[in-house]
């Protein structure tokens, strides 16, 4: 495809505000100087047809051979639809979540095991959304070796996907986009430099052996539960977290079993794990623990007993006489987004609240939003 065509496309995307510059808070909690909102192109039929044509042309130029096409939900779905209807390819639709009725399938369409499926995506950052789609397709017996994307943000997605056996073929890179917009006078030197610095600073992939930025590599809980290498207990945890839309663990640092059971009953629907300290229970009994187990089954959460004498802050004073140790707190966005943890653990933030249920819901939502934000870097 010619440079003139790509330059024209970039300017069109800017003109319809599919590319925005300023200060935008991402779902991950990061403040970004650039925001890509390609969903807007559905309101511009000519532009949407052009984007679809260029995605298909990129696949042809790369010599890709495939039997069917699947768009990553949701922005890429209309693009994949146009490609398939124009060039007569069978199309598959991947659901983000299976319905709880009907076929309950994650992949809709005529699936034929052994077929090669081409993935279509609008923007790639870490590559996690493409990889998650690939894993769902592979679980149905399909082969996935390639993906085409309109915009590669050049933050490690290409390298990450390559390490997983999927080659990414981009129509436009963020470097080219910035260069075209700068040369055309759409953005100034300061904007150009700030975006370039942000991209370089926020890479999502490092070579094998050095770990990945978020530990999980940006994968969803559901896709990690589906991995054969995932421990059965972790599989159960990831699954219930997805089902309940929660990554909240409550640290139940209480002194009496009645309060512990009340916490389990009240907060159970909002949590994935209840962390207990039976050492500090003044009226511990096996009967109470049996009731706790019943509540964990009722509300579908795990129980994590955290018995140790090298604990922190408030708990250690109750477990073992000693100094008044302080605690440093971080936000759910920092814990999930920046530090790459999978679960947020909250104790006094909830237990000291006048309305524990309301406060727990705030933490649940904040933690889940941070997780969804981490996935949005893809």
Look up 65 and say whether it is catalytic. Answer: no
351 close to 230: Cβ distance less than 8 angstroms: no
Nearest of 118, 17, 136 to residue 65 by alpha carbon: 118
Sign of torsion, CA 34 37 38 40?
negative
Rg (Cα) of the chain, in Å, rounded? Answer: 24
Query: What's the rounded Cα separation, in Å, for the pair 149 and 164?
Result: 17
Catalytic residue selected from 99, 197, 308, 339: 308
SS3 373: helix
CB 195 within 8 A of CB 177: no
Cα–Cα distance for residue pair 122/271, rounded to 1 Å: 34
The phi and psi torsions of 162 (rounded to 5 degrees) equal -60, -40
Token readout for 246 is: 């929660």
Alpha carbon separation from 222 to 25, 78, 161, 216, 265 (Å, rounded): 26, 25, 18, 12, 26
Please confirm, yes or no, whether 25 is among the known catalytic residues.
no
Contact by Cβ (8 Å): 251, 264: no
Residue among 7, 146, 253, 311 flagged as catalytic? 311
The greatest distance separating any two alpha carbons of the chain, rounded to the nearest whole angstrom, comes to 77
Q: Within its chain, how far is the Cα of 184 from the centroid?
A: 35
* The two structure tokens encoding residue 180: 């075209």
Phi, psi of 299 (to 5 degrees): -105, 5
Residues identified as active-site: 308, 311
């Amino acid at each position: 495809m010619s440079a003139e065509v790509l330059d024209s496309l970039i300017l069109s995307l800017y003109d319809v505000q599919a590319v925005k510059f300023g200060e935008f808070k991402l779902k991950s909690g990061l403040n970004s100087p650039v925001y890509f909102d390609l969903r807007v192109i559905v309101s511009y039929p000519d532009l949407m047809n052009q984007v679809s044509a260029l995605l298909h042309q990129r696949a042809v130029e790369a010599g890709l051979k495939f039997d069917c096409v699947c768009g990553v939900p949701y922005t890429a779905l209309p693009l994949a639809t146009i490609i398939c209807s124009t060039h007569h390819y069978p199309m598959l639709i991947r659901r983000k979540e299976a319905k709880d009725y009907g076929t309950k399938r994650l992949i809709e369409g005529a699936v034929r095991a052994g077929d090669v499926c081409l993935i279509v995506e609008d923007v790639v950052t870490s590559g996690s959304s493409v990889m998650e789609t690939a894993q769902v397709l592979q679980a149905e017996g399909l082969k996935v070796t390639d993906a085409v994307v309109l915009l590669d943000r050049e933050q490690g997605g290409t390298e990450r996907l390559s390490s997983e056996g999927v080659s990414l073929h981009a129509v436009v890179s963020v470097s080219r986009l910035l260069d075209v917009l700068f040369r055309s006078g759409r953005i100034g030197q300061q904007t150009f430099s700030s975006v370039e610095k942000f991209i370089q600073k926020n890479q999502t992939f490092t070579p094998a052996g050095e770990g990945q930025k978020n530990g999980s590599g940006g994968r969803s809980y559901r896709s990690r539960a589906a991995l054969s290498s995932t421990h059965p207990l972790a599989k159960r945890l990831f699954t219930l977290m997805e089902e309940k839309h929660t990554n909240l663990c409550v640290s139940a640092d209480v002194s009496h079993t009645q309060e512990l059971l009340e916490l389990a009953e009240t907060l159970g629907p909002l949590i994935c794990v209840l962390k207990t300290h039976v050492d500090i229970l003044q009226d511990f009994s096996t009967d109470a623990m049996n009731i706790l187990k019943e509540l964990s089954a009722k509300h579908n959460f795990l129980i994590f007993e955290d018995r140790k004498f090298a604990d922190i802050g408030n708990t250690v004073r109750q477990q073992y006489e000693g100094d008044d140790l302080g605690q440093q707190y971080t936000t759910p966005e920092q814990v999930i987004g920046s530090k790459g943890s999978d679960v947020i653990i909250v104790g006094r933030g909830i237990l000291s609240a006048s309305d524990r249920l309301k406060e727990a819901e705030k933490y649940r939502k904040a933690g889940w939003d941070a997780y969804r934000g981490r996935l949005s870097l893809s």
